[in-house]
Amino acid sequence: MPDEEKKPCEGCSRRLFTRIGVGSIAVAGVGSAVFGYEFLSPNVLYEPSPIVDAGKPDKYPPDSVTPDLQSGLYIVHGPQGIYTLSAVCTHLGCLTAWKPELGIIACPCHGSKFRTDGTKIEGPAPRPLQWLKTSLGDDGNLLIDRSEPLDHKQFVRI
Amino acid sequence: MPGLAEGLAGVRNSRVWRSVFRSGSGDSNLHRSLAVQQNVFLHLASVKVRRRALDFSVTWYLGTLSLGCFFILVVTGILLMLYYHPSVPQAYADMKDMQFVVSAGVFLRNLHRWSAHAMVLLVFAHMFRVFYRGAYRPPREFNWVIGVVLLMVTLFLSYTGYLLPWDQLAFWAITVGSNILSAVPVLGAKIRFLILGGHTVNANALLRFYVLHCLILPVIAVFFLAIHFWRIRKDGGLHIGAEAGDKTDE
């Protein structure tokens, strides 16, 4: 081009242009990352409450196991009182099934078997079934908090 | 920085790089041409353009700005899809959540909406510009036809997106629009029935418009956009006007 080499402005240089350009892209990149993380993290979840109202305790006769598969748990009334086991297998998260004819809890996915206190009989499950915090509410109903796993045994006696 | 330049040339001549980008390093005209021609994305564009064709006064950049709007719409649209269920009445609640609950949701929704309006405007302006400059004339007459198809796709995208908020405005706009559609002779009522998936604007219509808006129409748009840009090169580059073309041809 014959008519090029028109200097666009005084004090402009390729280095300044690069510096401003790279700086702007860096700021935009960090901003986009923060923006994207904030956007992708839901601020409100429409998930069911972790607390399950299991009704009056006398619904559960002694020596009974009552599955509530909708909530993923078993309400067990044993000799020491009422307690709740999570029905989610500790192996890979399948929902286990109560086998009343055998008196055990069995996982259909990989064959783990558990006693009614959650301890393992056989199979690949690494831990016993999780005990869940169970308490009596003000209205006398059993309340089970699925978000509070227990590291010890705890019974509701009535 | 000779060290850096040599290092980059080494990378570009390496076996791995050459297996992806065949043309390797080198700044001869042949190398530069091959770098463009052998790239599936770049080959749509010309290897060389006339300097005059890059001037604002030639095109007012209306086509490029339309494409820019389209990119914004694709990106914001995909993000909006992450929080949107095309079901009744969940769609309305999702739209409201997007405005009031989701971080930066109102920004993305408004960006999508304003870009959509801007794209319709810019596509019309682009067509007027092409028309009044005579850029539709041979050898570019087929690209004008592609452009008309793209105008239609843009309008259909705008129309189908209008239903998705599932508010009163959306519902009645699509009711009115689909009734206009039924004025087509003989087949009108049938077309309306097929577009809506029913006799009224309902859950089926929402789902059909969602699929059209998010999948079918964008795919058609990308398909015709690729032809549109490729034809610019095949038809001899951007139309720059007879009076300017002769003296600035490089």
Residue of chain B with shortest Cα separation from A44: B101
Mean per-residue pLDDT for A70-91?
A: 94
**Homologous superfamily assigned to B55-248:** Cytochrome Bc1 Complex; Chain C (1.20.810.10)
Contact residues, A window 28-47, toward B, CB-based 8 Å cutoff? 35, 38-44
Does residue B139 sit in helix, strand or coil? coil
Comparing CA positions, the residue from B123, B109, B48 lying closest to residue B76 is B109
Does residue A90 sit in helix, strand or coil? coil
Q: Using a CB–CB cutoff of 8 Å, tell me whether A1 touches chain B.
A: yes
pTM for the model stands at 0.82
DSSP B104: T
Of A35, A38, A43, the CB nearest to B101: A43
Residues 6 or more apart whose CB falls under 8 angstroms from that of B151 comprise: B123, B124, B127
Q: What pLDDT, in 10s, does the model give residues B51-93?
A: 888 899 889 999 999 999 999 999 999 999 999 999 999 999 9
CB A144 within 8 A of CB A52: yes
* Tally of helices (H runs) and strands (E runs) in chain B: 13, 0
Q: Is the pLDDT of residue A2 over 60?
A: no
Tell me what pLDDT residue B6 has. 86
To test the contact with chain A by mutation, choose from B102, B247, B250 the residue with the greatest count of A C-beta atoms within 10 A, namely: B102
Tell me what pLDDT residue B203 has. 95
Question: Mean of the per-residue pLDDT values for chain A?
Answer: 91
**Residues of chain B whose C-beta is under 8 A from some C-beta in A?**
51, 79, 82-83, 97, 101-105, 108, 250
Higher pLDDT, B17 or B244: B17
Q: Is the pLDDT of residue A134 over 70?
A: yes
Q: What pLDDT, in 10s, does the model give residues B126-178?
A: 999 999 999 999 889 999 999 999 999 999 999 999 999 999 999 999 999 99
Residues 6 or more apart whose CB falls under 8 angstroms from that of A79 comprise: A62, A63
CB B103 within 8 A of CB A38: yes
B90 CA: distance to closest CA in chain A (Å): 12
* pLDDT-above-90 percentage for chain A: 77
Q: What residue type is B131 in one-letter code?
A: F
Of B51, B97, B108, the CB nearest to A44: B97
Q: Domain ranges in chain B?
A: 2-44, 55-248
Q: Is the pLDDT of residue A10 over 90?
A: no
Tell me what pLDDT residue B244 has. 47
Instruction: Provide φ and ψ at A52, rounded to 5°.
Output: -110, 130
Tell me what pLDDT residue B142 has. 96
Q: How far is CA A64 from CA A41, A54, A57, A83, A119, in A?
A: 42, 15, 12, 11, 17
